[in-house]
Amino acid sequence: MKGLAGLVGQAQAVTALRAAAVKPVHAYLFVGSPGTGKMGAAVAFAAMLVCPNGGDDGCETCRRVFDGTHPDVVVVEREGAALSIAQAQQVTRLATRSPLEATRTVLVLPDMHLARLISPALLKTLEEPPASTVFLLMAEFVPPDMVTIASRCVRVEFRALTEEQLTGALVAEGVPTERAASVAALAGGRLDRARLLAGDPEMEARRRAWEEVPARLDGSGATVAVLAEELLEHLKRSAGPLASRQEAERARLLENNAERVGTVPSRLAQSAMRAGTSEQDERFKREQRRQRTDELRSGLAALARAYRDRAVAGTLPAQQAGEAVRLIDGLSADLAFNLGEQLAVQALLVRLDRLG
């Protein structure tokens, strides 16, 4: 549990949030690309808002916020491609609920740049905010239909991390410099992903598998099927480091619960333990889905680079390489719509194979 002090490359945001915690307003909007630390900052800021000691002290309240088991800090994650109307109604109900333990309820809403359908309902809640509720909204950018909501919030910017910042952060955590630099180049500016890749022995093998696709396509449907199967197996195996981290986190939660309730828990304590475990399981599922999407996007980026390199080397006409990159980038963008991975990869390889 590092709190705001653990954020990398976000000194301006940290300063703003520390000042805001002294006298918070009803809504904040964290804006920045994935992996810049928005969620970590939101959780740390939430801890500061509900902790009787102001947070950053590692107390029981802060620990529960970071574990995701504090009843007055609620993260409302989208269940599909975007937050639904039903979830917007849930947010309204939660916003009007009195805090259960702290003096405030903190509602954390990620991926607001995708929440077009619920903007009108959420706007009404933000315009008439309950005195004890603080909203922490997160978005990768502010689309036109979110401008009015953004105007009701204090905006906190999160800057994209450079490869140098990622490398420095990994080295500080004990990763060898050469390995850290290699991981930083593949992490897409995301520290969370860089940390996962740093402990992944199969990272380079997966990258090579995607880079070798153009050379292996030979006009045969059988080859396309084999390639698709290999790439999807790499995708499946890439979840290993995340699964290990989640198992360690699950063990810590169980240990913390046991410490809090003793060897003979009461009925209320048992209920709280089950709720905390259920919330953690749901978060783990979301993390697993995002990891697969991140990994697939990383592979597609390596594939696009391979086609560009072939154009530069003169082994593939620039027009064909450009069309290949367009197809690859199109699939990468479409991953936001929860496509079926197997069919999407197979369809892409078929189209690339037809380019020659």
Q: Phi-psi region for residue 133, left (φ > 0), alpha (ψ -120 to 50) or beta?
A: beta
| Residue 323: predicted pLDDT | 96
What's the token pair of residue 239? 């979840």
The superfamily (CATH) of domain 3-157 is: P-loop containing nucleotide triphosphate hydrolases (3.40.50.300)
**pTM > 0.75: yes or no:** no
What is residue 117's DSSP assignment? T
Name the percent of the chain lying above pLDDT 90: 49
Residue 310 has pLDDT above 90, yes or no: yes
Half-sphere exposure of 321 (CA within 13 A, CB side): 17
Lowest mean pLDDT among 178-192, 222-236, 298-312: 178-192
Residue 283, pLDDT above cutoff 50: yes
Q: Stretch 126-145: mean pLDDT, rounded? A: 89
300 phi/psi in degrees, rounded to 5: -65, -35
Distance of CA 205 to the CA centre of its chain: 24
Least confident of 36-40, 218-222, 270-274: 270-274
**What mean pLDDT is predicted for residues 41-48?**
94
> Three-state SS for 48?
helix
Q: Return the pLDDT at 79.
A: 67
Instruction: Give the domain ranges of the chain.
Output: 3-157, 163-199, 240-355
Predicted pLDDT at 319 = 94
Can you name the residues that pair with 106 across neighbouring β-strands? 73, 134
Partners of 135 in the β-ladder: 27, 107
| Distance, CA of 18 to CA of 27 (rounded, Å) | 15
Look at residue 262 and tell me whether its pLDDT is greater than 60.
Answer: no
Q: How far is the CA of 21 from the CAs of 48, 63, 310, in angstroms?
A: 7, 18, 53
Candidates 216, 227, 212, 226; CA nearest to 303 is: 212
Average pLDDT for 121-137: 87
Q: What's 49's DSSP letter?
A: H
Q: Which two tokens stand for residue 310?
A: 């072939």
Find where tokens 């809090």 sit. Answer: 260
Q: Which of 3-12, 35-44, 49-58 shows the lowest mean pLDDT across its residues? A: 49-58
Assigned token pair, 251 = 């063990």
